[in-house]
Amino acid sequence: MFVKARNIDNLTIAKVIDVQDDVCTVLIDELEMSAQLQSVLNDSSKFVVVPKVGSYVLAGIAASRWYVLSVSEIEKVVCKIDTTEIAFSSESISIKKGNETLKGLLNSLVTEIQTSFAQINAAIGVPANTPNYANIITKINGLFGV
């Protein structure tokens, strides 16, 4: 069954001039308007495509409120379900559950391995290969943001 499109006047292309949390400020007919980015209607979950400032969005109005329907350029994407959150951009990736982050866990793991091998190497009289561990931590921090 097809539904006939109605109220297409409620859609517009708007320029993004600011983004704060899950709301962006857009320019519509030379007026600054707030437009909701979040596509999930509860507080414990969200899926947000954050547009770049200066890019354009397709915005629609419903119940006197503007919503972003699509974006021309993506700054980052955030997906949260309860206490688990994944966010990514061209700069980095963030994965966390509660207060734990994947970046923190990987850095702790590398540090523990480095400490263990340093103790083993000291016991058998072989120097530790410390620069390689620092390189791994640098790569982890680069992938998951410093």
Listed range (28-42, 74-88, 117-131) with the worst mean pLDDT: 117-131
Q: Is the pLDDT of residue 39 over 80?
A: no
pTM of the shown model: 0.77
Give 127-130's long-range contacts (Cβ < 8 A, gap of 24+).
none
Please report, to the nearest 10 degrees, the dihedral formed by the alpha carbons of residues 31, 46, 78, 53 taken in order.
0
CATH 1.10.10 fits 8-90, yes or no: no
First CA to last CA distance, the chain: 51
pLDDT reported for residue 111: 92
Closest Cα partner for 77 from 100, 94, 61?
94
- Per-residue pLDDT band for 2 (boundaries 50, 70, 90) equals very low
Sorted by sequence, the CB contacts under 8 Å of residue 142 that are 6+ apart come out as: 92
Domains of the chain: which residue ranges?
8-90, 101-144
